[in-house]
A and B are shown apart, each in its own frame.
Chain A
Amino acid sequence: MENPVKVDAINSLNDFVIKFANVNGTGSASANQMFAKSIFRMGIPISPKNIFPSNIQGLPTWFEVRVNNKGYLGSRGGVDIAVAMNPQTYSQDVEEISEGGYLLYDSTWKRNFNRDDITIIEIPLTQLCVDSFTNAKQRALFKNIAYVGALSPLLEIEYEVLEKLISEQFVNKPALIEPNIKALNIGRDYVLKNLPYPLGINVKREDKLKDKILVSGNDACGLGAVYGGATFCSWYPITPSTSVAEGFEKYASKYRVDSQTGKNNYISLQAEDELAAVGMAIGANWNGARGFTATSGPGISLMSEFLGLAYFAEVPLVLFNIQRGGPSTGMPTRTQQSDILSCAYASHGDTKHVLLFPEDPQECFEFSAEAFNLAERLQTPVFVISDLDIGMNDWVTDKFEWDDEQKYDRGKVLKAEDLDQMDNFGRYLDIDDDGICYRTYPGTHPEKGAFFTRGTSHDEYARYTENGDINEQTLTRLVKKFRTASELVPNPIINLSEKQGSSGVIFYGSTSAAMYEAKDILIENNIDVDLMRIRSFPFNLDVWEFIENHDLIYVIEQNRDSQMRTLIMAEGGISAEKLRSLVWFNGDPIQAKFIAKKIYERESQQALIT
């Protein structure tokens, strides 16, 4: 190690941020994931984040892992260790290392970094790989595994854990195990022979992750759709939602193939565009199959006309919106929560849609499966609204659970026997006075139950009408149905402080991780707040009661215009003064420090020093 450090090096056990700077398309992703998983396997909570460009090869990409034994999974900010493998971004990567932090770089080409307050670890990774491998591709690829190997003694990562991960990864390609282990050893041995170890920052096995899994939100959504009984998926490629369809295909191709015939009890169809993707899913649902599509903001814009049709003609539909940075094409590989309003009111005319807001992959799984019940019960589109942060990053989350006793709710569907008992079938007759009418699938009964689904104004028998009173009745009934929906969707999670008269905080989705941490920071600073995590729209009585019971409520969101706040104001007639907007929209995941600071400053009228 060169550059004697002028300040104290950071000393920290199981609590730090490490950031890998790579060039995309060089095979670094799997090495970085292996690193993250090794810490996870040692029972220590981690939150890995991919920070990547909208590009295939050659541009900078980063992988940041927060290791935190308290289980804080939100983005922390700051970097304690940088593994800088991309000379293009050296200056930026080195600059953001915290005072007392560490830099590991490929010293095959030596550099001066003008930082005398960090520890610089030099390992000639390229040279070591050139000496050990003959194949040019392998030399480049194994550099990544070699730095993971080097981190093993430096951070005290259990070497056996890494070995096991390699053998698991290549279980179907055993020939690749040996060279990967060799690469791992190259990095490790270099450190053991040439460098002091471990660093002041290191890890030690803990037992914090019993019953936890490491999975991305999109994978969980895809699996939830398999468990929720989806047989039809139509989609158009768009970052960051594509891996929802891929997740569905991955699990369906394993668990949905008929063991007798070998036929697929599902279909996943790549559409020609988002309009067709949503149209196909609507067609499948109209015909009684559980169908869904997955998209992101631009796709919502394109699908809007069809969403109005499904709303007005009352066809079930499940739609996953994995939000990214907007507006327009925006920041396709960054995260935001900026489609709340465009989804809540998608399409022209008076429309309102059911929205679900999962906070992590476990809830993505749960809401994904439940969305199909809600869509069929309510005969309307149901949006599962996630974002890039939840969707494309792996999260430590509760393991998935499924109750085998719980049956699918296929909603109000009349069978041939039911129709035989009826004299008068009307598709849009509100017989039960809950706004939800009875539907039939095509092909059910030779004489009864046929109707004409249409986006034009229609009467209770699905006949076209230009009678304004009848159309008004239909639109009013849809409001009644929406009220019924508010009783069926997931409740908010409310967490009241011990102190009476505390301010309230409303948040949702991927903001959760940062919010829970912010609450702890605030408590340390003698400020307590009441939390309400909104999990769905329409809002139910619990939401309104929480708002009613607080004089001041912070609404924390990852968009510029405080869209959830607008939705609350519009739907509940809540005054603007009561709801204080607290927004973060730079495209990176929101940080606890930011939330805590803003709330502290407002509550105590003084600055928060952290």
Chain B
Amino acid sequence: MSYFKPINKHPNLEKNKLGLTRRDYEGGVSTLCAGCGHDSISACIIEACFRLNIEAYKVAKLSGIGCSSKAPAYFLNASHGFNSVHGRMPSIATGANCANEDLLYLGVSGDGDSASIGIGQFIHAIRRQVNMVYFVENNGTYGLTKGQFSATNDLESKNKYGEDNLFPPIDLTSMAIQMGASYVARSFSGDRDQLVPLIMGAIQHKGFALLDIISPCVTFNNHDSSTKSYDYIRNHNEAMGKTDFVPLGEEIKTNYDDGSSVEVKLHDGSRLSLEKTDHNFDPTDAGNSLELIREKNKEGKIITGLLYVDNKCKPLTEIMDLPDKPLNTLEQDELCPGSEVLDEINKGLS
């Protein structure tokens, strides 16, 4: 169901240059689990659009299928949205972008959507340099179908039912850099201070921008993967009492100093090791970026921040030499060659 929030405008709410408040960028009430990282990301998107004075109706929100793909209903109510089919949002975005490049395209996807069923479309949208912001709300699990492993889940981790993940993860950031993405960042849904500027940067960027955002699933991937103890079950019996029961939780938030690596405790006591990009790091050198990601992965750390940026890239519409005037505004007299030309064509065929 979609729920609409009552609009109570407080006269003292902060306004941006368009005279809009953050409220004007909101969407419907989220139906995701309380405490879901995806809702934090939606809030960051709202904040980024507010701060950048984006006109919401000039935004197209696109998604595939999965928990993450529901998220576009929960921000920017004044924008058109398209919740397409599983893993195929990149092709919708490609076609829409070619038809009208004047809109801002926000694609919201998940790890199942982008790293498994839709990995082909994901890669090809990158290599075509579709001008869009592509969010992967990465929780390592299939939430809507009750907690199966996704392709970004780490090799050592276990699922909620204690089963081992037998296959190594796909690192979306290094893959995207190799495929030619021109803005690649990783962040954590609980780190608003880091994420909002990264989103703002991605919106401002022209070309394919990937935001790989670790976004914990409070319901299905919120357990201590190193233990399957009795204690664990006892301490979380709300979740395990009945498989499809969704426990209440709080949003995960963290704050830490620049340049330092920190461990973030999740609801259930499991940990994420996060490290920010070093200030000396040059994010315009793809080779360095890949090396850094690889090194940190080896150390068991997750590197977050802006990992790679190429500001000289040509977006798809430029590569294809499309006019400044969007294709969807061309009129019949600009499109149809008419009967005289057809007579000429007929002559050539006789």
Q: Interface on A for B, CB 8 Å cutoff? A: 209, 212-215, 223, 226-227, 229, 231-232, 234, 251, 255-256, 258, 261-267, 269, 271-273, 275-289, 291, 305-306, 309, 399-404, 407-408, 440-447, 450-456, 463-466
User: Is there contact, CB below 8 Å, between B341 and A276?
Assistant: no
Of A265, A276, A455, the contact of B323 (CB 8 Å cutoff)? A265
Most buried by B among A212, A279, A400: A279
CB pair B338 A402 closer than 8 Å = yes
What 1/0 mask marks residues of chain B from 98 to 115 whose CB sits below 8 Å from any chain A CB? 111011000000000000
Q: Which partner residue on chain B sits nearest A408 by CB separation?
A: B332
User: Which of A267, A272, A403 is in CB contact (< 8 Å) with B339?
Assistant: A403
In the complex, 29 of the A-B residue pairs with CB atoms within 8 angstroms, ordered by the A residue number, are: A212-B350, A227-B336, A231-B330, A256-B335, A258-B323, A263-B321, A264-B323, A265-B327, A267-B98, A276-B124, A279-B92, A280-B98, A282-B95, A283-B92, A283-B94, A283-B96, A284-B98, A286-B92, A287-B60, A289-B98, A289-B327, A289-B328, A404-B339, A407-B332, A442-B96, A443-B60, A450-B78, A455-B83, A465-B2
A380 CB to nearest B CB, Å: 16
Whether B96 and A456, one on each chain, are in contact in the complex, defined by CB atoms closer than 8 angstroms, is no
Please give me the residue from chain B that is nearest to A399 by CB atom: B346
User: Cβ of B95 and Cβ of A234 under 8 Å apart?
Assistant: yes
A306 contacts B88, CB within 8 Å? yes
A400 to B102, CA, bound (A): 36
Q: List A contacts of B72 (CB < 8 A).
A: 452
- What chain A residues lie within 8 Å of B327 (beta carbons)? 231-232, 265-267, 284, 289
Known: A263-B322, A441-B80, A450-B57. 6 other contacts (CB 8 A): A231-B328, A232-B327, A284-B96, A403-B339, A443-B100, A450-B80
Once bound together, how far apart are the Cα atoms of A399 and B2, in whole Å? 54
Among the listed A215, A264, A276, which residue makes an inter-chain contact with B321, where contact means beta carbons less than 8 Å apart? A264
Instruction: From the candidates B81, B96, B330, B350, name the one contacting A452 in the complex (CB within 8 A).
Output: B81
B321, A269: Cβ atoms closer than 8 Å: no
Q: Which residues of B contact A407 (CB under 8 A)?
A: 332
Give A281 to B88 CA distance when docked, in angstroms: 12
B314 shortest CB reach to chain A, Å = 14
The CA-CA distance from A447 to B93 in the complex, in Å, is 23
Identify the B interface with A (CB < 8 A): 1-2, 55, 57-58, 60, 72-73, 77-85, 88, 90-100, 102-103, 120-121, 124, 128, 320-324, 327-328, 330, 332, 334-339, 341-342, 345-346, 349-350
Asked whether A281 and B83 contact (CB < 8 A) given A227-B342, A275-B88, A402-B339, the answer is no
Q: Is the CB of A464 within 8 A of B1?
A: yes
CB within 8 A of A442: which of B2, B60, B83? B60
Do B339 and A401 touch (CB < 8 A)? yes
In the complex, which residue of chain A has the Cβ closest to the Cβ of B28? A463
Report the bound CA distance from A296 to B322 in whole Å: 28
Contact partner, B99, options A213, A265, A288, A447, Cβ 8 Å:
A288
Inter-chain contact B346/A447, CB cutoff 8 Å: no
Residue contact B100 to A288, C-beta cutoff 8 Å:
yes
- 3 closest Cβ pairs, A-B complex: A283-B95, A279-B91, A289-B99
Provide the residues of chain A in CB contact with B81, threshold 8 Å.
450-454
Chain B residues closer than 8 Å to A466, beta-carbon distance? 1
Contacts of B328 in A (CB 8 A): 231, 284, 287-289, 441
CB-CB nearest in chain A for B341: A255
Q: Which residues of the partner chain A approach B60 to less than 8 Å between Cβ atoms?
A: 287, 442-443
Q: Give, as a whole number of angstroms, the nearest-CB distance from B28 to chain A.
A: 8
Q: A232-B327, A465-B1 are in contact. Are A286 and B337 (CB under 8 A)?
A: no
Residues A232 and B99 in contact in the complex (CB < 8 Å), given A276-B91, A450-B78: yes
Residues of chain B within 8 A of A399, CB atoms compared:
346, 349-350
Listed residue (A227, A305, A401) with the most chain B CB atoms within 10 angstroms of its CB = A227
Residues of B within 8 A of A286 (CB): 82, 92, 95-96
Q: Which residues of B contact A440 (CB under 8 A)?
A: 80
Q: Interface centre among A281, A450, A466, by most B CB within 10 Å?
A: A450
CA distance A402 to B78 in the complex (A): 41
Q: Which of B77, B102, B339 contacts A450 (CB 8 A)?
A: B77
A600 to chain B, nearest CB (A): 37
| Cα distance A213–B345 in the bound complex, in angstroms | 10
* Given A276-B88, A452-B73, A447 contacting B78 (CB threshold 8 A): yes
Known: A263-B322, A452-B73. A402 touches B120 (CB 8 A): no
The interface residues of chain A lying within 8 Å CB-to-CB of B78 are 446-447, 450
Contacts of B77 in A (CB 8 A): 450
> Does B121 lie within 8 Å of A275, measured CB to CB?
yes
A451 touches B98 (CB 8 A): no
Which listed residue (A215, A255, A272) contacts B124, Cβ 8 A? A272
